[in-house]
Amino acid sequence: MIEDLRSLFGLLEPLYQAHPAWPVERDRIGQVLATAAEARSPALRALDADRAARPAWFGAPDMIGYSFYVDRFAGTVAGLQGRLPWLETLGVRLLHPLPMTRGQAGDSDGGFAVADYRAIEPALGSLDDVRALATDLHGRGMALAMDCVLNHTARDHAWAQAALAGDVEKRGYYRILDDADDVTAWEADLDEVFPDTAPGNFTHEPALGGWVWTSFYPFQWDLDWSNPAVFREMLDVLLFWANVGVDAFRLDSAPYLWKRRGTVSRNLPETHTLVAALRAGLDAVAPGVALLAEAIERTADVLPYIEPQDGTRAAQLAYHNGVMAALWVALATGDAAIIGELVRDTVLTRADTAWLSYLRCHDDIIWSALNGRVAADELDRISDFYAGAGGFADGRRFQARPGAAPSTVGMLASLVGTQGARALDRYRLLLATMLALPGMPMLYMGDEIGLPNHVDPAAPDDARWLHRPPMDWPRADAAAAGEGPGAQWLSLTRRLIAVRASLPALDAKAATMVRDDAPGLLVVERGSGDEMIVLVANFGERPQPLPLDGDWKDAIEDRPIARLIAPGCVFWAKRRG
């Protein structure tokens, strides 16, 4: 604990020492940590101790995550327990319910406009339900991840309401500009997240006598992380949930925390320091709890969230959004070289970090994360392709920042061509590739049964709702019985996950070597010795010779591998014998 405190304050001093509230806040942070440490239960301490011996516990080959909206998947938190058999049979070991905390009334950006960080959305259940869920999951060897929306609160949040009512201290929790010229000057360097539906980064609030910073929607007020009270409050929130039994936090919108004039105010070094400081604070109380950085940025900008150059311990996981986008690029163009390039450039070196691997999530696919690796006009073509321009894909365009390819929305099944005969083969190619790359895979609800796009007329004006359907349980039950349109999707998903779980070479920390001597194929060696697995994937249109000497079998189907790899085929090759 003493060591963790030294590291925490060592990180915070340079950020806050000039702030007048620092001496007081420094003491308060110490108290917050002491109180939380005392409150940590013996059962959770035992989990911490267990994980100390397996610092990348989330990277085991049988760790599969599953991300979902509680209401759309199970109705309520309590209802989730009835759905655990579905997840366990699928091979899921980590649940990531999207925000469960009380959101603002009406449109809450899917819960990402938080009105109360310590309460559960009443329609979903109660704090006790979450506590019971966490305990149940731990009993089954499973884990619970939770969102922590660090960058902003809802306008409905008590801090924002107090600020509107003239509370000076709470006004200081937000970034409020008094002067329109100031707004213009800041805006000159900023990007826009939702240029179509929420242009600009500031919202005029007459009661504040100024403009409040709102990077996302006008009802999501950015917190001012240059105020140490904000750090203390959010650390307290993390510790609160860690002690309820949460095993991992998704740090929502991590890049936006620190702002500096004259910069784009994303991914600033101070933001990396804040993530490392949250880590140090957790280490003092709940060291087994992992942090997942949500930084949907170019790979070079994502790396400092998990492996800062100075060796500091920061987040343990980060979305590998570059590889995710590259998988879709490869599917559209037939060229998988960029996947190999990204995997090669992003081999992690720390013992306690892993990539989060995924194909789809609740957000759009942001092509501009590949800027600098894929030509701008090529990204435009790919965006058009997935928006349905003449190919198999049936997605839609989402908002585009000026000069960037519009991002893409749509369920996985629709993006691979739901109706077409080859849709399932494309899913297999993507999923088998993703599961063999280094990382902790996270599935997205409904993909395991090939749910297509869902048009919900009651959804907010935000095209991402196209891929946020309710779980289709009749289809799921039929699929489990081997019937209906989801059956093949489900059996494929279950099989790949089950085989993966049996292959130590697919641990996130197993060695990774991308081979470049087999043009036209993606070939990645994982692990070593007898256990080695070689991912061989043909995203192209021509058959390619198998680039392996000796006697190999396909671990997925447990059968010999053909010497010629047909287009669209993927193998996990394992030495026979």
Q: Which residues bind ligand GLC (CB under 6 A)?
A: 109-110, 112, 149, 216, 252-253, 294, 362-363
Comparison of 220 and 227: residue with beta carbon closer to ligand GLC: 220
* Inter-residue contact 527 to 506 (CB < 8 Å): yes
Comparison of 110 and 486: residue with beta carbon closer to ligand GLC: 110
CB of 119 to ligand GLC, least distance (A): 18
CB of 185 to ligand GLC, least distance (A): 24
Contacts of 21 (CB under 8 A, 6+ apart): 227, 228, 229
* Inter-residue contact 343 to 334 (CB < 8 Å): no
What are the start-end ranges of the H helices in 290-397?
299-306, 321-333, 337-345, 376-386
CB of 7 to ligand GLC, least distance (A): 28
Comparison of 283 and 364: residue with beta carbon closer to ligand GLC: 364
Q: How far apart are CA 328 and CA 313, in angstroms?
A: 31
Assigned token pair, 209: 């006598």
Q: How far apart are CA 201 and CA 214, in angstroms?
A: 5
Contacts of 405 (CB under 8 A, 6+ apart): 367, 368, 376, 379, 380, 382, 383
CB of 110 to ligand GLC, least distance (A): 6
Element (H, E) at 439: none
DSSP string, 27-62: HHHHHHHHHHHHH--HHHHHHHHHHHTSTTGGGSTT
Comparison of 251 and 570: residue with beta carbon closer to ligand GLC: 251
Which CA distances in Å does 472 have to 99, 265, 446, 448, 489?
21, 41, 8, 11, 14
For residue 418, give the nearest of 408, 430, 427 by alpha carbon.
427
Comparison of 215 and 512: residue with beta carbon closer to ligand GLC: 215
CB of 294 to ligand GLC, least distance (A): 6
Q: How far apart are CA 323 and CA 320, in angstroms?
A: 6
Comparison of 215 and 493: residue with beta carbon closer to ligand GLC: 215
* Inter-residue contact 230 to 223 (CB < 8 Å): yes
Comparison of 362 and 494: residue with beta carbon closer to ligand GLC: 362
For residue 271, give the nearest of 232, 244, 301, 241 by alpha carbon.
301
Residue reference for tokens 């969230």:
305
Residue 98: CB atoms within 10 A of its CB come to: 22
Distance of alpha carbon 313 from the chain centroid: 19
Comparison of 200 and 567: residue with beta carbon closer to ligand GLC: 200
CB of 253 to ligand GLC, least distance (A): 4
Assigned token pair, 496: 């790949």
Counting DSSP H helices and E strands in the chain, the numbers are 19, 25
* Inter-residue contact 29 to 285 (CB < 8 Å): no
Q: Which sequence positions are flagged as catalytic?
A: 252, 294
CB of 403 to ligand GLC, least distance (A): 20
CB of 256 to ligand GLC, least distance (A): 9
Comparison of 224 and 283: residue with beta carbon closer to ligand GLC: 224
Amino acid, single-letter form, for residue 488: Q
What are the E-state strand segments in 338-484? Answer: 354-358, 396-397, 408-409, 440-444
CB of 516 to ligand GLC, least distance (A): 34
* Inter-residue contact 38 to 285 (CB < 8 Å): no
Assigned token pair, 501: 């779980």
Assigned token pair, 438: 């280094």
The SS3 assignment for 471 reads: coil
Whose CB is nearest to ligand GLC? Answer: 112
CB of 325 to ligand GLC, least distance (A): 15
Comparison of 157 and 426: residue with beta carbon closer to ligand GLC: 157
CB of 445 to ligand GLC, least distance (A): 14
Q: How far apart are CA 567 and CA 220, in angstroms?
A: 46
Q: How far apart are CA 276 and CA 278, in angstroms?
A: 6
- The terminus-to-terminus CA distance of the chain in angstroms comes to 49
Comparison of 211 and 216: residue with beta carbon closer to ligand GLC: 216
Amino acid, single-letter form, for residue 138: H
